[in-house]
């Protein structure tokens, strides 16, 4: 993970926005955030969207999270691959990514993983998620996907040092992912 990425290409955002708009009727309301409803659509067996539409403005798309399922060292987890705030001026979308990951994805799937690349906003989100998860006794791992080396994070102090090295530009950080789990993952525990 820990590689930085630039802005998401507009063509990819436009593609996802069109896919969501074309399939609006497929979305099912599952939760609320502030005054908006969060809707879910499972596009394929391993990929889906969580989206927020403005019910007061012709169901205008405000925000979406794209996720897919992945295997990391024989452990199925979910990975948020794209978070996009379509209307940054809308006052009710602040904090939505955190809400979706903590209150929807983690309880539903039990294990979530970061992506290989993160934007600056993605880094901030994962720093928050890791700190929050430590505070509520979740299990956090830093996994080298290629070497299968696993480090368990146990305190915010460890977290700060590891995050700095994980998001560096050196070669050793190019295959790292963070994994947050509701409980210990046996496949990872054997490698700690």
Strand partners for 37: 32
Strand partners for 64: 51, 84
Query: pLDDT digits over 134-166, tens only?
Result: 889 999 998 888 888 898 887 666 666 666 666
Phi and psi angles of residue 158, each rounded to the nearest 5 degrees, phi first: -60, -45
pLDDT category of residue 112 using cuts at 50, 70 and 90: very high
Which residues, other chains included, contact 150 with Cβ-Cβ below 8 Å and sequence gap of 6+?
73, 141, 142, 143, 144, 188, 191, 192
Question: Which domains, ranges and CATH numbers included, belong to the chain?
Answer: 3-189 (3.40.630)
Which letter does DSSP use for residue 170 in this model? S
- Reported pTM: 0.83
Query: pLDDT digits over 26-84, tens only?
Result: 999 988 777 678 898 888 888 999 988 887 788 889 888 888 988 888 888 888 878 88
Query: pLDDT digits over 117-133, tens only?
Result: 777 778 888 888 988 99
pLDDT higher than threshold 90 for residue 175: no
Strand partners for 164: none
């Amino acid at each position: 993970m820990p590689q930085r990425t630039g802005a998401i290409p507009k063509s990819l955002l436009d593609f996802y926005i069109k896919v969501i708009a074309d399939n609006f009727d497929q979305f099912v309301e599952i939760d609320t955030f502030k005054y908006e409803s969060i809707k879910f659509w499972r596009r394929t067996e391993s990929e889906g969207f969580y989206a927020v539409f403005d019910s007061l403005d012709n169901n205008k798309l405000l925000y979406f999270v794209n996720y897919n399922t992945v295997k990391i060292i024989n452990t199925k987890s979910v990975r948020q691959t794209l978070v996009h705030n379509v209307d940054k001026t809308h006052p009710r979308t602040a904090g939505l990514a955190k809400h979706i990951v903590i209150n929807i994805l983690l309880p539903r799937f039990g294990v979530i993983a970061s992506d290989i690349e993160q934007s600056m906003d993605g880094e901030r989100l994962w720093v928050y998620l890791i700190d929050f998860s430590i505070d509520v006794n979740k299990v956090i791992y830093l996994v080298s996907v290629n070497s299968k080396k696993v480090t368990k994070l146990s305190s915010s102090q460890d977290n700060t040092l590891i995050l700095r090295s994980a998001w560096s530009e050196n070669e050793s950080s190019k295959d790292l992912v963070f994994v947050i789990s509701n409980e210990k993952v046996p496949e990872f525990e054997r490698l700690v």
